[in-house]
Copies of this chain bind each other. A is one copy, B any other.
Amino acid sequence: MIERRNRSGASLHDPVLEKLGMEIAAGELPAGHVLTLDAIQERFGISRTVAREAMRILESMGLVESRRRVGITVRPIAEWNVFDPKVIWWRLSGPDRGAQLRTLTELRIAVEPLAAGAAARAATAAQRARVVELAAVLRSLGEAADLTEFMERDVEFHALLLQASGNEMFGALADVVAAVLRGRTQLGLMPHKPVPEAMDLHDAVAAAIADGRSAEAEAAMRALLVEVRTAMLPG
């Protein structure tokens, strides 16, 4: 999951951060817009300390810049840490959700094939077994047209591969891929029933990884993702 699961203590600055982050990501607070701590305090009914902490986090994400005498200025999107899971989440929740899904899908096409290839080389025996198992589960869920459960297993499938790649930069994208898959389903960009080719390709990826056939794993994953992209384009 991208968002933290609410463990009991939800700290006060969190909702503030969330709200401001969303508004900036949505463009409601455009680049150049100036906030003040006073205004934030007032608006959320919180103390200065809490307002400052929320602001500091936004600043570390590159969303705002704080200067004395001036206030807290919203920075242009080019300055944002667009790989920050929270930023990705906020953008996916906002009006440019479609655009964000497209750029993320491009990123997936870049990364996941290589990750699959690496997984074929580096995965543990348990991971190889699980991948094959998941592919089978996906097939049966797909044939049963159980879309939500299919998606959850699909998330697990891709996350497993990314983590099995042995490159923690790839592994860190597991949450992102999860968000994309979920977002895609919510946007209704999925066919009503997964197409058979998709299941075949999942199988092909799984088999190649199980056998350590790196090049085949990479190719199959690339084919799978290109399929995904073309399926998304009309939407």
- Cα-based distance from A85 to B61 in the complex (angstroms): 10
Q: Which of A27-35, A166-174, A185-193, A205-213 contacts B (4 or more CB under 8 A)?
A: A166-174
Chain B residues within 8 Å of A60, by CB: 57, 60-61, 86
Task: Give the contacts of A45-98 with B (CB-CB under 8 A).
Answer: 49, 52-53, 56-57, 60-61, 67-68, 77-78, 80-86
Chain B residues within 8 Å of A67, by CB: 9
Task: Give the contacts of A87-115 with B (CB-CB under 8 A).
Answer: 103-104, 106-107, 109-111, 113-115
17 extra A-B contacts, CB within 8 A, seeds A56-B56, A60-B61, A106-B169: A9-B68, A49-B52, A53-B56, A60-B60, A60-B86, A81-B83, A81-B84, A81-B85, A82-B169, A83-B83, A83-B169, A84-B84, A107-B170, A109-B114, A110-B111, A110-B113, A110-B115
